[in-house]
Structure 1
Amino acid sequence: MAQPGLGIRFQRHFLAARQLRSFPWPELEQNLRAAPDSSLLVDILHQTILHPLCVKYPPSTKYRRCFLTELIKKHESTAAEPLDELYDTLADVLNEEESTNCYKNYLLPTGGCVTLSESRAIVSAGTTGLVTWDAALHLAQWAMENPLVFSHRTVLELGSGIGFTGIAICKTCSPKTYIFSDHHHCVLQQLTENIHLNGFVLEPGTTQDIQRQCQGQEPEATNYQKPKLIVAELDWSSVTEKQLLDLQPEVIIAADVVYDPEIIVALIGVLQKLSTSRADRKPPEVYIAFTIRNPDTCHLFQAELDKVGIGWQIIPAHSNSVFLCDVQPNVIILQLFL
C-alpha cells in the first residue's frame, strides 16, 4: 500500500516549484517496488502537472519537463505496464515555448493558496526582487503561527518584493490594513499584478501608474475577509520621517533585506525614523527575517542595531513546516525593539 498523503506531498512541492531533489522520490520508489502498478503514478500526475491550479498557473516549462522526465524514469524502473498518459503529457510540455515568467502556487493550511507570477531569472531587470526568497516563506509561516500579532492591525512591509509574505498574511491573519512597499518599478508592477491575481483590490490612489497597467484583470472570487491594501513606492535613502509616520504602522515586517552593508545602513535609517515622534502611541512591533549567507553581514546588522540603540532578540524556530519543503535551517527572525 502507498503511504497516505504521498501524492499530496508531491503536490505541495510541485505547485510551489521547489527543488526537484527535495521531493520524496525514495518513498515513491519504495512504493513502486512493493506494488508495481500505475495507479500511484497516475495519482501523482493528476496532483501535479494536471492539477487545475497547475493547468491555469503553470510552473516553468523546463521545470515541468524535468519533473515529468524524473517521473517517467521511476515508472520505467518498475515492471508496471506503460503509462501513455505520462508520455502524452510530456509531449504536450515539450511542444510549449518557454516563457520569461512562471507561476508558483503555495497551498495554505486554511485551504486557499497564494499564487505568484515570478521571473524565471534570479536577477532580472537589474533586481533580485522578482522572485520569492526562503526568508519570505519562513516569515509567512511564522505569521500564520502567530496571527494575533497581525489581526486587526496596520502592517507595513519593507521590501515586499513580489508579495508572497504579505498576500499570505492578508489571507490568513486578518490585518486591518496592509501596506506593501518597495522601490524598483518592475518589482512594484509585478507585486501589483500578484495582488490582483490573488483576488485583492488595492485602495484607490495607490501606485496609480502601475494599477493602470493591471486594469482588465478580473480578480478571482474569494471568501475571506479583505483588509485594506496599499502599495507604496518607498525609497529608503530618501523617505522622510513624516512620510513613514503618516502610515501609522503598528507592525513592521521585512524578509531578506539584510544581505548588503549599504542596504543595512539604509534599513536602520528607516527604522530610526519610525522610532521617533511617538509620544502619543506605542512604537511598532518589528520582525525581520533573513537567510544567513554570510555571518559577517548578520553580525554587522546586529552591531549597527546596537550602535543606534535598537534592541533585538532571536525568535524561536518553527514548530512545523508548511512551505519549507527544502529550506535550509539558516533562516532566522529577529524581533526588534524601537
Structure 2
Amino acid sequence: MDDNSQALVLLIKRQVLQMRQLRHFQWSLPSATSASVSQQSTGPGMNHEHASALSVTTPEMQQAILDQILHDPTLKRYPPSLTYQHSFAKKLISMIEIEGTHEISGELLELFTELLMTAPKRPEQGGPPLKPCFKSYCLDRACSKIVTVMEEQTTISSGTTGLRTWEASFWLAEYLIAHPEILAKKNVVDIGCGVGFLGIACAFLGAKKVVLTDGNTDVLAMARQNIGYNVVPCPTTASLLDWENFTQEQIVALKAEVLILSDLTYDPTNIVPLVNVLKAILVKGVSAYMSSAIRNPQTFVDFFARIEQECVGVEIEEISLKDAEHLFFFDEETVQTVKVFHLSFP
C-alpha cells in the first residue's frame, strides 16, 4: 500500500474512532494533503491527480479498512456503538455498489451481516434510548497516541452537560499538541474536566502529573473510569473540586503549574464561583489556558470583566490557532466561534 492510500486509511480510522457523523464523513484525502504526502514519499514527479482520486472501494482499500479499522485492537477493545459501526459498514457497501467497479469483500459482507443482527435501531427508528459509548481521539495523524473515553451520545444526561466531550476541548487540545512545551514536565490541573478527554490528552503530551477536577460526582465517576481505559504515561487522578465550597488545603494539594479549562463560560451562574476558584489557584507562576465556544457574547464579556476585577494584574491573551493542525472532527454547522486564551500574571 502506498503512502497516500495509507494516509486515507488513517483519515478514515480517526473519523470512525471518534464516531464522526457519516453525513460529514471524508472518504477521500484533501488535494493538498495528497500532494504533500506524495512529494514527501516520491518527489514532485508524482501524479497528484491520481493521488487525490483514491477510491475506498478497491479490494486493497476494503481489506485495509477491515484490517486497520474494523478489526483494529483499539476498536475491538473499546468499540464505538454497534449502531454506528453498522451504519459505517452499510455506507461503505453502498458506495461499492453504486460505483459498480469492484466486488464487495466477502469478509466485509460477513461483518455487515453480523452487525445487522446485533446493532440496535436508532431511537428515531423505534430503537432504545442512546447509551454511553466509547469514543477514541487520535492525537496525531498516525494514530500512535489515542485517548479513549466513555461518553454520552446526548447533549444532556443526568442533569448535566459534562458527560460528553465538547468541541472547544478539541481546539485547545490542538493548540497544546502544537505547543507541547507548555505542558512539558508540569503539574496540570483540569478545571471542570467533564469526561476527561482534555486532561488525559495532557498526560500523553508530556505533563509530569495531571489532576482532573469537577464538582459533579457522576462526571467524576466517568472521568475516573476513563483514566483507567488509557495507559497514561504519568500519574493521573480525578478529584472533587466544588467551586462554591473548596478549601485552601485542596488548592495547595493540587500543586498546579498549568490550568486547563474548556467550555465553562456558557452559564452566567457559573461566572462568580468559577472566578473564585481561579482566583485561588491562578497565582504568579501558574498559567491558565482556556477555550470556549462563544454562544452568549455577553456572558463571555462578563466572565473576563469579573476575572480582571478579582484577579488584579492578570494578563489575558487571545491565542491564534493558525499553527494548530486540525486533527479532530465536529459538526461545523452547530459549533459556534471558538476562542482560546492564555491567562497569567507577569
Residue by residue, what CA displacement relative to the aligned partner does 1:57-85 show, whole Å, maximum 9, x if unpaired?
A: 11112211221221122111112224333
Amino acid paired to 1:302: F
Contact 2:133-2:152 at 8 Å conserved across structures: yes
CA distance in 1, matches of 2:260, 2:291: 8
Distance in 2, matches of 1:25 and 1:134, equals 22
User: Which secondary structure state, in structure 1, belongs to the residue aligned with residue 201 of structure 2?
Assistant: helix
Of residues 207, 216, 226, the one that matches 1:194 is 226
Quickly say closer, same or farther: Cα 1:73–1:150, change in 2 above 3 A.
Answer: same
Gaps of 5+ in 1: 201-225
Could you tell which deviates more after superposition, 180-189 or 86-95?
86-95
Contact 2:188 2:257 in 1 (8 A): yes
The RMSD of aligned alpha carbons is: 2.6
Structure 2 residue aligned with 1:149:
182
Which residue of structure 2 lines up, in the alignment, with residue 176 of structure 1?
A: 208
1:207-253 deviation line (CA, Å, top 9, x unaligned): xxxxxxxxxxxxxxxxxxx4333321011011134431342311111
What is the identity, as a one-letter code, of the residue corresponding to 2:190? E
**2:77 alignment partner in structure 1:** 56
Q: CA deviation at 1:13?
A: 0.9
TM-score, length basis structure 1: 0.81
State the distance in 2 between where 1:78 and 1:228 align.
50
Q: Is the 8 A contact 2:149 2:197 kept in 1?
A: yes
Partner residue of 2:274? Answer: 267
Q: Determine which of 5, 11, 17 is the counterpart of 2:13.
A: 11
- State the one-letter code of the partner of 2:86: R
State the AA in 2 paired with 1:307.
Q
Unaligned runs of at least 5 residues, structure 2: 31-51, 121-129
Is the CA contact 2:189–2:199 (under 8 Å) kept in the aligned structure 1?
no
AA of the residue aligned to 2:316? W
- For these two proteins, the number of residue pairs brought into alignment is 305
CA shift, 1:170, in A, is: 0.6
Would the aligned equivalents of 1:287 and 1:333 in 2 still touch at CA under 8 Å? yes
Task: Return the offset for 1:97.
Answer: 5.0
**Pairs within 5 Å for 1:7-156:** 7-25=9-27, 30-32=53-55, 37-79=58-100, 80-96=102-118, 98=120, 100-109=131-140, 111-156=144-189
Offset, 1:150:
1.7
Q: Deviations over 1:74-111 (max 9, x none)?
A: 11111222433332212211222557221112223382
Q: Is the 8 A contact 2:227 2:237 kept in 1?
A: no
Distance of 1:67 and 1:233 partners within structure 2: 38
Shift of 1:164: 0.9
- Distance in 2 separating the partners of 1:158 and 1:320: 23
Q: Report if aligned partners of 2:139, 2:146 keep a CA contact under 8 Å in 1.
A: yes
The question of whether the paired residues in 2 share the 8 Å contact of 1:181 and 1:233 is answered with yes
Pair 1:289 & 2:291 matched: yes
Aligned in 2, Cα 1:263/1:52: closer, same or farther, shift over 3 Å? same
| 8 Å contact from structure 1 (residues 60, 120) kept in 2 | no
- Aligned residues: percent identity? 30
Shift of 1:334: 0.9
Q: 1:147 to 1:36 in 2, by over 3 A?
A: closer
User: Alpha-carbon deviation of 1:26?
Assistant: 5.8
Q: Does the Cα contact within 8 Å between 2:57 and 2:95 map onto a contact in 1?
A: no
Does the residue aligned with 2:226 lie in a helix, a strand or coil?
helix
Contact 1:10 1:47 in 2 (8 A): no
Separation in 2, partners of 1:273, 1:159: 15
TM-score, with normalisation over the residues of structure 2? 0.79
SS in 2 for 1:25: coil
